[in-house]
Structure 1
Amino acid sequence: MNLLLTVLEIVAPVFLLAGIGFAWVKLGFEYRLQFVTRLAVTLAVPSLIFVALMQTQIPPGELTRFTLAAITGHVGLAVAFGVFVRASKLERRTYLAPLIFGNTGNLGLPLAIFAFGQAGLGFAVIFLAVTALFSFTYGIYLVAGKGAFGKVAREPMVWATLLGALFLWQGWQTPVFVTNTLDLLGQMAIPMMLITLGVAIARLTTRKLGQAVWLSALKLVVCFALAWAIAKGFDLDKVAFGVLVVQMCTPVAVTSYLLAERFEADSDAVAGLVMVSTLMSVGALPIILAIVL
């Protein structure tokens, strides 16, 4: 009973905030998605990442091991789903990226901090940075047929992670007034991302729900099994283990839909994956948290 209550306390704020965004749009209120998203990824999330890493008490060696595990997880998913997409004759540029990349920002970060505290957030931002690195290069290559390696160098989240890791390694701290400012900016990130997720889901439409159901279920099973094996293989401690599993099991990211629409892949099919996998996560993520806690 205590475990059930703990899990509900973790997941309820996450899905309630997303529900607020969903209801906001359905009630007809204005929400400038592009502006809010840019504000989040340019200021709020990088500030959260930098401060979380700078102030974390996680030893650098553990962060290095977790980073290698996160990279291995992404490569493993790319190989496994690459083989699946080829064997099932699905369109590679439409389906492979959504199957690989999860919503490690909007859902992964809030779940990590609510479930595992500041230490969990430190691990989660590393996973998010790895996801961003892969999605802005290999992910765009899959959809567009070309990479966007220059975009990685201009991505604030990547620089925030590198600088945060440097400050952690050297034991540096920014002046108190700078830290307080960045901390305030970072506090916007989680509620902003969750509400924005709800808004984005509310605006999606699709006619391909049937296929999305079994693909979303397959993604969840493969991600859980692979994450568990990798976490065991790297001998991660309990917090790092839990964060890796939760991050790899997050649903399809809304950015996958935006990329499909931008580069003229089958955006309707990707919208279905986003919607179904997100709804599926409402039931699946509490179970996963109960297993790893």
Structure 2
Amino acid sequence: MNVFLHVLTQNILPIMLVVSFGYLLRRRLALDSGTLSSVIFYILSPCLVFSSLATSNLPADELAVLVAFSAVSILVTGGLALVLARLLHLDRAALATLLIVAMFVNAGNYGLTLLQLRYGDEGLARGVVYYVTSTIMAYTLGVAIASLGRVSWRATGQRIVRLPAVYAVLLAIVVYAFRLPVPAPLMNGITIAGSGAIPLMLVALGMQIADMQPEADGRLVWPAVGLRLLGGPLVGIAIAALLGLQGAGRSAMIIESAMPAAVINLILAAEFGLPTSTVARIVVFSTLISPLTIAAAITVLGL
């Protein structure tokens, strides 16, 4: 119980506090959340990705294993969502909704902050791998699922090439692989911008939650929340054991797989005509309940 309370108060409560700042800013001052999200998406997040990967001391083989974990865990969770959808006899729109909220988690705003607080730069470096892999899959596989045939592969490809994080990843891989020197002023500027991404991600999350309208048919909400918060970490544990992950890598990957549904799912739902109010409820409820489930997972597994 002492470990559980320590994780809850020392690692997760500070995150929720910053999220509440964003919520209050949006509610009280009606600040524009879209502008802040664009700054994070187009500038700060790519800088975080580049600075974390390009300067990473992770061995190439561990990096490959972390990417494999991230991709496989997302796909396996999607498989479980398909099974659940059949049991619930969901229609096409509800199926797409369940798939995206189960597969794509808040690995950035929430996950990276928690890993940095709990494990420092060692945890953050590994969490960034999950975040980048998840982001790329959300804008490729996630778009395909949300559209369910309504968007061509060409259109999907056009969306991908507009993602700043994709270019940050490619450049970081080149720098990492060939150990290319980056001029100190440039690298320092990128690092400073990247360090601002995490706190502003949390503020943006609070502002986005304040914008959500929770009215919806609740029949899909609780099965989806349960699959995300309980099924996610169980899948993470199994895949970590299968891939032989140990230490900080195992802890970071399991914690990322235990994160609540991502706000990006709301963007996908709005873009492709899925029930946004249902997605909003899943995101909000999974985020509010997640401190308890994540603290429990860390305590039980000794992460």
TM-score (norm 2): 0.90
Can you list the C-alpha shifts for 1:45-81, whole angstroms capped at 9, x where unaligned? 1111111112222111111111111111111112221
Query: Which amino acid counterpart does residue 165 of structure 2 have in structure 1?
Result: M
Return the alpha-carbon distance in structure 2 between the equivalents of residues 108 and 139 of structure 1: 19
CA spacing shift, 1:16–1:38, aligned 2, 3 Å: same
Q: Does 1:166 align with 2:186?
A: no
Q: Given the alignment, which residue of 119, 134, 145 partners 1:131?
A: 134
- Check the 8 A contact 2:102/2:227 in 1, yes or no: no
Return the alpha-carbon distance in structure 2 between the equivalents of residues 280 and 209 of structure 1: 19
Q: Does 1:143 align with 2:146?
A: yes
- 2:68 paired residue number: 68
Secondary structure of the equivalent of 1:193? helix
Judge which range, 133-142 or 82-91, deviates more: 82-91
Q: Does 1:185 align with 2:193?
A: yes
Q: Given the alignment, which residue of 87, 99, 102 partners 2:102?
A: 99
Query: Which amino acid counterpart does residue 283 of structure 1 have in structure 2?
Result: L
Return the alpha-carbon distance in structure 1 between the equivalents of residues 262 and 42 of structure 2: 18
- Check the 8 A contact 2:233/2:257 in 1, yes or no: yes
- Percent of aligned pairs with the same residue? 23
Secondary structure of the equivalent of 1:107? helix
Q: Does 1:197 align with 2:198?
A: no
Return the alpha-carbon distance in structure 1 between the equivalents of residues 4 and 79 of structure 2: 35
Please state how far the C-alpha of 1:159 moved relative to its aligned partner: 1.9
Query: Which amino acid counterpart does residue 24 of structure 2 have in structure 1?
Result: A
Return the alpha-carbon distance in structure 2 between the equivalents of residues 276 and 10 of structure 1: 20
TM-score (norm 1): 0.93
Secondary structure of the equivalent of 1:265? coil
- 2:27 paired residue number: 26
Secondary structure of the equivalent of 2:109? coil
- 1:228 paired residue number: 237
Please state how far the C-alpha of 1:3 moved relative to its aligned partner: 7.0
Q: Does 1:271 align with 2:280?
A: yes
Return the alpha-carbon distance in structure 1 between the equivalents of residues 102 and 201 of structure 2: 21
Q: Does 1:85 align with 2:123?
A: no
Return the alpha-carbon distance in structure 1 between the equivalents of residues 54 and 298 of structure 2: 26
- 1:120 paired residue number: 123
- Check the 8 A contact 1:209/1:276 in 2, yes or no: no
Query: Which amino acid counterpart does residue 26 of structure 1 have in structure 2?
Result: R
Please state how far the C-alpha of 1:249 moved relative to its aligned partner: 1.2
